[in-house]
Structure 1
Amino acid sequence: MNSMREKPLSIGVFGLLGAGNSGNDGSLEAVLDHLRAARPGAVVDAMCGGPEIVATRYGIPATRLNWYRGEYRTASRASAIAAKGFGKLVDVVRTAAWVRRHDAVIVPGTGVLETTLPLRPWGFPYSLFLLCAMGRLFRTPVALVSVGAGPIGNRPTRILTRWSTRLAAYRSYRDTQSRDAMRAMGVNTARDEVYADLVFALPAPAGNESAGMPGPVCVGVMDFHGSNDERDRAEEIHRRYLDGTTRFVRALVEEGRPVRLLTGDELDRPVAASIVDAVASPLVTVAEAASLADLMKETACADSVVATRYHNIVCALKAGTPTLALSYSAKSDVLMAEMGMGTYCHPAREADADRLLEQFRELERNAARVRRTLVQRNLAVARRVEQQFTDLAAALFPAAGPTHALRETP
């Protein structure tokens, strides 16, 4: 005879987490902080890109996203191609088993529905499709929470992304352009809400406490090669970006300004090293930031920030520091406009050092007014993120408390 028994709510988090991208990990941290405060009895685990890092840093059990460990390396040998193909089949079973044992799965923020960086359809888009399909099959709600989206040119990637979104039980976006992009791809977004990036839920760092002491200029760099649809021009785009950014840093150093280079992904470190070598000045240093919280502290102590990676920009804005976006995607322009900073955007594909310097000097002249604007905008954004968590709980756990009554079990 079956009987009802109470057991803790089981919640999974899913994504390219712990894989070296601080923005992705910051979104995970925001969701975990919320769950620990609002659902202290829940059992949380992850299926992610870097399970060892997630388990160590965040204290939750973690499973590898892909069976094949070389999933994100280019396969040239027949054996590697065969292993990748076999891994796709194994991942169907692994993902199904993982999804089935959860009451809900959350995909925390990040640009999971965009291809602003090079991306193969059978990489993460396929993994996300498997997740959402298995969620629908086993009636485990999958929530895409404050995610980023954008137009997708590659047809297989577009199809996988569209079906992933349709199969998800809950969807919300970090900006209106993301929702518009999914609507343009044929997804019914009538019930989907727009909130803000989850990183804005993290605690704000303290500013520069050295009274009267000038801070550095933080320059966030990126291993930028254009979008997924610009692979044929990738090296040209990268050279132009690196040359313009290097010239900008050199101009600051020639004025005696200390420059602190920031990265947001392990892939960015060679770019920072290249700039250090090219400028060859003790005024240029590289921040050893291991987490998004570290990056936020760096930006809080800066006089101003010029950043490329989206979450470097988020960190600087959250810290209330005057920020200029070296923008590689419309999402950065949208974010800057929402924070009252739309004037201070410069296209990363052009990276014109002279024009960048003009915008930077204008930013610094208006620094006091910019800081006041950011204080006001941050309050409004924080309220939107808080509302996101309230609405998510109502959608996923309408009758759940710290414990949850599951289906009848033997």
Structure 2
Amino acid sequence: MTSADGTPVRVGVFGLLGSGNLGNDGSLEAVLGYLRAEHPDAVVDALCGGPEVVATRYRIPATRLHWYRGEYRTASRAGAIAGKGLGKLVDVFRTAAWVRRHDVVIVPGMGVLEATLPLRPWGFPYSLFLLCASGRLLGTRVALVSVGAAPIGNRPTRTLVRWSARLAAYRSYRDAPSRDAMRAMGVDTARDKVYPDLAFALPTPSESPKAGLVCVGVMAFHGGNDDRARAEEIHRRYLDGTIRFVRTLVEDGRPVRLLTGDACDAPVVAAILDAVDSPLVTAAETASLADLMKETAAADTVVATRYHNLICALKAGTPTLAVSYAAKSDALMHRMGLGTYCHPAREVDADRLLEQFRELEKRSAELRRTLAERNQEAVRQLQDQFTDLTTALFPAADHAHALREAP
């Protein structure tokens, strides 16, 4: 694919990619698959959180998102605080220089317009604003593709997110509540569309379920951005309820496989293994969303918290119960026909969770058929999304394609 002057189109991908969150990396993988299939001549590179991982795993050049290497460490000393402050200024020029080198920048999926987990405005929201403002000023089209959004209480964060969305050249959302949230924040969403999460475009694993196996996806859950005062209380209740649930499964003789979706979830796995000392409980080691999908495909049933653990299980066609921490999880479960199987992560009740789990298992065969149908529809919708993306971002390529197809 080339631009009007005959040079290859330069495409950047942007986000907290390669930083340990398997869901984010799965969204990147889906977009790279689209670019390599539909625009194989495009020159692609990344501005991201984990450039070494992205460059090695996806074979594209990658640049570190932040000039200051300690960006996501708490700054308490004067030197660290000064370094962070200087980094914010340097990143203005670094981001603009990177954006200038591209014709198109894609933000692949991720919850970039939400604050459902603890988030500071001067962290990723500031970085996203720099990207979108640079794109508007320099004439580079910025696309927010199948992204997540949610109502935001913190005013500075809300302002940065609102202006980032307004300045983007293209927006689509992974669910209707995301679009509604942006409309409520003052963004004109009349032309914005809703498509499934990008992970549904990834290949489906072919693993066969192992009789009786339950995958339990856990999370270092401490509530949302507005729950900081109760963070430890929320985490303790979540952990205690999950431990009770796993222990009961083991007492029933069920093998349990613990899953994570981010490097920060490891302490939760360790706590459960320590509390439920049984050879029936094991922990999966996953390095990609594909690994997670294989694990969930091999299970009879999945109970999971992280959003992309849910996606992996649903994509694999495995009956799933969501321990839901945000509206996006509820919306996803409703989309896939399992809306009644949601349990609040902030108030895990092991007895009620077990009751829902047993009801889910009774309907297993029926729900597997439902998931097969919903997955086919999700793939079709994402094919439409990629067609729309080509039209919006690569008009020269779309015109050339039309000429080739003309009789």
| TM-score using structure 2 length | 0.96
Is 1:93 matched with 2:80?
Answer: no
Deviations 1:226-254 (A, max 9, x none): 00011010000000000000100000000
Q: Structure 1 residue aligned with 2:228, among 228, 231, 250?
A: 231
User: Any residues of structure 2 matched to 1:167-206 within 5 Å, and which?
Assistant: 167-206=167-206
What is the root-mean-square deviation in Å for CA atoms of aligned residues? Answer: 1.3
Structure 1 partner of 2:345: 348
Structure 2, unaligned runs of 5 or more: 402-407
Task: Quote how far apart the aligned CAs of 1:402 are.
Answer: 11
Alignment deviations for residues 85-127 of structure 1 (CA, whole Å, 9 cap, x no partner): 0000100010000000100000000100000100000000000
Unaligned runs of 5+ in 1: 405-410
Aligned partner of 1:58 in structure 2 is 58
The match for 2:311 is 314
Question: What amino acid is aligned across from residue 12 of structure 2 in structure 1?
Answer: G
**Per-residue deviation, 1:133:** 0.2
Paired residue for 1:217, among 214, 217, 222?
214
1:318, 1:392 → 2: CA distance?
23
| Aligned pairs (5 A) from 1:287-306 | 287-306=284-303
Q: Give the superposition deviation at 1:157.
A: 0.2
- 2:283 — aligned with what? 286
- Summarize deviations over 1:120-164 as a string: whole Å, max 9, x none: 000000000000000000010100000000000001000000000
The amino acid of 2:338's aligned partner reads M
Q: Once the 2 structures are TM-superposed, how far is the Cα of residue 403 of structure 1 from its aligned partner?
A: 9.7
Distance in 2, Cα, partners of 1:255 & 1:298 = 21
Q: Which has the higher contact order (CA 8 A, sep 6+)?
A: 1
How do 1:241-260 residues align onto structure 2 when only pairs under 5 Å count? 241-260=238-257
Quick one: distance in 1 between partners of 2:83 and 2:399?
A: 42
Distance in 1, Cα, partners of 2:233 & 2:10? 48
What is the alpha-carbon distance in structure 1 between the residues aligned to residue 399 and residue 21 of structure 2?
31
TM-score of the aligned structures, taking structure 1 as reference length: 0.96
Q: Which residue number corresponds to residue 400 of structure 1?
A: 397
Any runs of at least 4 consecutive aligned residues in structure 1 with deviations exceeding 3 A, and if so which? 401-404
**Partner residue of 1:158?**
158
DSSP 3-state at the match of 1:400? helix
- How far apart are residue 207 of structure 1 and its match? 2.8
Contact preservation (8 Å) 2:390, 2:398 = no
1:323 matches 2:320: yes
* Percent pairwise identity: 76
1:143 match: secondary structure: strand
1:339-395 superposed Cα distances (whole Å, 9 cap, x missing partner): 110111000111100000000000001000000000011111111111111101100
Give the AA of the match of 2:331.
V
Q: Which amino acid aligns with 1:321?
A: T
Aligned length: 398
Is the contact between residue 174 and residue 197 of structure 1 (CA under 8 Å) also seen in structure 2? yes
**1:401, CA displacement in angstroms?**
6.3
Displacement of 1:398: 1.3
Assess if the C-alpha contact under 8 Å between 1:219 and 1:306 holds in 2: yes
AA paired with 1:243? D
Residues of 1 paired with 2:212 and 2:37: CA distance?
A: 35
SS of 2:334 mapped into structure 1: helix
Of residues 356, 359, 364 in structure 2, which corresponds to 1:362? 359
Distance in 2 (alpha carbons) for counterparts of 1:324 and 1:396:
37
Alpha-carbon distance between aligned partners in 2 of 1:207 and 1:362, rounded to the nearest angstrom? 24
1:373 pairs, out of 356, 370, 375, with 370
Matched, 1:271 2:272: no
Distance of 2:59 and 2:199 partners within structure 1? 19
Shift of 1:399: 1.6
CA distance, structure 2, for counterparts of residue 371 and residue 290 of structure 1: 26
CA contact (8 A) 1:182 1:189 kept: yes
Residues 290-311 of structure 1: CA deviation (Å, up to 9, x unaligned): 1000000000000000000000
Asked if the contact 1:176–1:194 (Cα under 8 Å) also holds between the matched residues in 2, the reply is yes
Which residue is 2:7 aligned to?
7
Cα 1:403/1:61, change in 2 over 3 Å: farther
Range with greater deviation from structure 2 (247-256 or 393-402): 393-402
How do residues 96-175 of structure 1 correspond to structure 2 at under 5 angstroms?
A: 96-175=96-175
> Any conservation in 2 of the 1:259–1:285 contact (CA below 8 Å)?
yes
Mapped partners of 1:293, 1:402: distance in 2: 35
| Counterpart-to-counterpart distance in 2, 1:166 and 1:313 | 30
Q: Which amino acid aligns with 1:72?
A: Y
- The answer (yes or no) to whether the contact 2:212–2:254 under 8 Å persists in 1 is no
What is the CA-CA distance between 1:68 and the residue it aligns to? 0.4
In 2: Cα distance, 1:266 partner to 1:295 partner: 14
Q: Distance in 1 between matches of 2:104 and 2:400?
A: 13
Q: Secondary structure at the match of 2:346?
A: coil
